[in-house]
Amino acid sequence: MKDLLDEKQVAFAALVYHADWLLYGETDEERAGADEAIEFLKHFPTAKLMLAHVAADPVREHHLYEKQKNQLKCIADIAQRAAEEGIVTVYHPNSGDNSIFRYENDYHIMFDTLYTKGIGYAPDAGHMANAGIDPLKIIKEHRSIVQHVHFKDMTADHVWATMGEGIIDFKPIVDFLKETNYQGWIMTEDESPMAVQDSDSVVLADGKYMHSIM
């Protein structure tokens, strides 16, 4: 992989590892998957290890605090092992209906661990807007640990949209990151229905939009 990316002059920005993390400590399978990701990233020392939750429990409120505590323990353990190999870990909350770190109140619990355990934050503007959170506000409040950023747009009725065709104002976020000398990646994701139908055209349109606000 490294040889191929070097040949094509493509940078490897981040590797995402998803798991359930329902127990107070990783299962053998979860630990093996995380360790495989860490081993892979040894070949890409500037890339981030991005952790994101698979919401396995269909009822979000079912033992919510316990699930949050357990997941935070697991990601802290993974981040510690990654740090021993010189790899930076970031956490990416999402906005699925049963996501355990979905709303701003959940974020307060999440940030306590990110700060105390030295874990980076990977804000996703689309997921925050989808959960009724102001992306710029959160990014400003926690800029010191923002190390990787995701953008995706959304319509007023909560359908993912092609960049620039939804309700999210990305330009102030870009401007703030510039003003604060952000050196990480902004990754544009497009989960709109149009992206499924004509991905090439959507990627081109998204690129033009991002160029217009950078």
Token pair 């699930």: residue? 67
Question: Residue 105's pLDDT is what?
Answer: 96
Q: How confident is the model at residue 58 (pLDDT cuts 50, 70, 90)?
A: confident
Question: Residue 60's pLDDT is what?
Answer: 86
The arithmetic mean of pLDDT across residues 9-24, rounded, is 95
Question: Residue 30's pLDDT is what?
Answer: 97
CA–CA distance, 18 with 68 (Å, rounded to integer): 15
47 has pLDDT over 80? yes
Query: Which domains are assigned to the chain?
Result: 1-122 (3.20.20.150), 123-214 (no CATH)
Question: Residue 55's pLDDT is what?
Answer: 73
Q: How confident is the model at residue 214 (pLDDT cuts 50, 70, 90)?
A: very high
Q: What share of the chain is helix, strand, coil (3-state, %, to 5)?
A: 45, 15, 40
What's the pLDDT tens digit per position in 109-152? 999 999 999 999 999 999 999 999 999 999 999 999 999 999 99
**CB-based contact 118:79 (threshold 8 Å):** yes
Question: Residue 76's pLDDT is what?
Answer: 98
Q: How confident is the model at residue 88 (pLDDT cuts 50, 70, 90)?
A: very high
pTM attached to this predicted model = 0.95
Q: Within 13 Å, how many C-alpha atoms sit on residue 14's CB side? A: 25
Question: Residue 158's pLDDT is what?
Answer: 96
Q: How confident is the model at residue 57 (pLDDT cuts 50, 70, 90)?
A: confident
